[in-house]
Chain A
Amino acid sequence: MSDATAHQRGPGVLVDESDLNGARSDPKQTWRRWLRNPNSLIGGVIVVLVVASALVSLVWTPYSPLAVDPAHALGGPSLRHLLGTDEYGRDVFSRLMASSQIALFVGALSVLIATVIGIPAGLLAAQRGGATGQVVLRLADILYGFPALLAAIVLAAAFGASKSTVVLAIGISYIPVFIRVTRSNALVVLNSEYVLAARAYGRRPLAILRRHVVPNIATTIIAQMSLLFSLAVLAEAALDFLGLGTAAPAASWGTMLQSSQDYLGNDPLLTVWPSLAIVVCVLGFSLLGDGIGELRDARSRR
């Protein structure tokens, strides 16, 4: 049916190309929307920068983060040391870069632990409901009672403080979040009419989870992951600051902040750099999470 025959419609095809509204292919639209949304744009850029910093620091930093140079200790920003040096003469900028490795490592691994356990549990609770659902929810409640700090202290006491205990502590404390978010979102999908339709043409429960529930809750869960990633970075820095995580001389924003306290009088800038790094990193992942959430809302509004 070409436009020339727009007046007449053939008996066979009642609907033709010109009737289809807003037919733009999906992926292109998503990209454009991503760039237009300030949250996802800024968040995305920050995250990319942090990841790049971590990756680059694996092979190169201006100076070794552990290289001591007492002669130049507590030097302010200069051409040789962009952000100055700390109390041992170590280059702050290099240490900042290297710290991003730990931040990302802890963030990624703790979110991984939380999702690997939390998401299936949430799906199980949503689909089975009844007694099974109640048991899962109560387990989540129990885990809620163990904030990361408490868990970190316990683990540190038992196994000695390290990156791993921090990961474990944060990861476990986030499991209940994913259980609840997954469960409530999955319930919405499971109660939808298209799932009812799927049951009516014989789809089994597991296939329904795979084909309908997961794709429809994915964006929300990913947004949640990004948000919790940012919180994990913050928690990690806090635990390191308290001495319950990475130990000196390894570079992490938390330990940098911890040691810079003693030199507040001599070189206040030393506290600023790691703080800024933490804030920017947390902001980045947080904005990204918000952006993903907003994009999802825009899509479902249609």
Chain B
Amino acid sequence: MSLLHVRDLEVTSGPLTLVSGVDFEVDAGERVGLIGESGSGKSLTALAIMGLLGEGLSARGQVRFADKDLLAMSERQRCELRGNSIAMIFQEPMSALNPTRRIGDQVAETLRIHRHVSRREAERAAVGLLARVEFAEPERYARMYPHELSGGQRQRVMIASAISCDPDVILADEPTTALDVTVQRRVLDLLDRLVDEEGCALLLIAHDLAVVSEVCDRVVTMYGGRVVESGSVAQIIDEPRHPYTNALLATSKALSVAEAASGANLPSIPGSVPSAGHFPQGCPFRDRCERSVDACLEIPPMVTQGERALACWNPVGGSASSVQGAT
């Protein structure tokens, strides 16, 4: 039973189409990773789901959450859900936190808005939440201001705020990209544990396949504003079918701590990611793809088979008719 179902999502900015035909589901308690690089539209997708698109951007399609369509809702109804049933964690904690308010206040704010608790109760709850995100002295930190904390600490504060109202799903937009590697490990482990404890679903947006493979059950790959492939982590890692996923995986594997230097050149994708809205006609990956054929001038349809979905005319490992590939 899917908790969040994004159907045919399109995001445009004037004449430019930034995101198109995006379709995926997140079941209750499931962890889905949305992988893409800059210009892939992954962040816009998350913002569109939350109804937080900036000026000049508009979204079309359906985002079904429980029984309702988030895109069709009134802003007031969406405000009810935000922070409450759907929580979001952003990439840059410094800009997401108000520099003039204390940490405790900011964590308590969601509780006060959605649970209508008294100020004192909310403060106490905030301290409890800070303890859950591994602050050794939560009362002290509750009184501090954002600038007194490190990047990793601020991100943990954001996580505390996100879980405060027992959300059904957490949208985390590149939560660890801006952090040092040891801090990233800490924050990821924490997020992993809390999502387990809360039993909520997680939509993790990232550009690092390794991060997604560690934390998520399923992967959705985006390129050029479209979903190109999706499947379970095991399926994608063992048998990627879309050439982009394949190439991304190859590069990620070669650039791994676990991989000794081979002396050979790293596998790379020639060319560069097209800027948002300026994708080539047809399949957006067409002119960087080593498997592209004439058919690629037309956008390939998304073919779904069980857990896997694929949009490619000439996928890796066999004909397009079988999503599962040569078994």
Contact = CB atoms under 8 A, between A and B. Distances in A.
B278 A21 contact: yes
Contacts of A6: 286-287
Nearest to A20: B272
Interface string B83-116: 0000000000000000000000000000000000
A169 B292 CA distance: 72
B274 interface: yes
Interface string B242-282: 00000000000000000000000000001110110010000
A7 B270 contact: no
A9 interface: yes
A9 B290 CA distance: 9
Contacts of B289: 7
Contact of A15 (B271, B274, B275): B271
Given A18-B287, A21-B278, A9 B271 contact: yes
A193 interface: no
A6 B293 CA distance: 11
Interface in B275-327: 275, 278, 286-287, 289, 292
Nearest to B39: A21
B70 to A, nearest CB: 30
A21 B271 contact: no
Contacts of B270: 9, 14
Contacts of B287: 6-7, 18
B307 to A, nearest CB: 31
A187 to B, nearest CB: 21
A14 B288 CA distance: 11
A21 B278 CA distance: 8
Nearest to A16: B271
Nearest to B294: A7
Contact of B292 (A7, A19, A21): A7
DSSP majority for the B interface?
loop
B292 A22 contact: no
Contacts of A14: 270-271
A22 B276 CA distance: 11
Interface residues of B, number: 10
A15 B268 CA distance: 13
A261 to B, nearest CB: 48
B278 A19 contact: no
B296 to A, nearest CB: 9
Nearest to A14: B270
A162 B200 CA distance: 78
Interface string A1-26: 00000110100001100110110000
A21 B270 CA distance: 16
Nearest to B280: A6
A21 B39 CA distance: 13
A18 B280 CA distance: 10
Nearest to A3: B287
Contact of B275 (A7, A9, A21): A21
Interface string B161-190: 000000000000000000000000000000
B140 to A, nearest CB: 34
B272 A15 contact: yes
Given A6-B287, A7-B287, A7-B292, A22 B272 contact: no
A214 B272 CA distance: 33
A287 to B, nearest CB: 23
Interface string A109-152: 00000000000000000000000000000000000000000000
Given A7-B287, A7-B292, A19 B272 contact: yes
Nearest to B272: A19
Contacts of A18: 287
Nearest to A22: B275
Contacts of A19: 271-272
Contacts of A7: 287, 289, 292
Nearest to B296: A7
A15 B288 CA distance: 11
B219 to A, nearest CB: 27
Interface string A66-108: 0000000000000000000000000000000000000000000
Interface of A: 6-7, 9, 14-15, 18-19, 21-22
3 closest residue pairs by CB, A with B? A21-B275, A6-B287, A9-B270
15 contacts: A6-B286, A6-B287, A7-B287, A7-B289, A7-B292, A9-B271, A14-B270, A15-B271, A15-B272, A19-B271, A19-B272, A21-B274, A21-B275, A21-B278, A22-B275
Given A6-B286, A21-B275, 7 more contacts: A6-B287, A7-B292, A14-B270, A15-B272, A21-B274, A22-B275, A22-B278
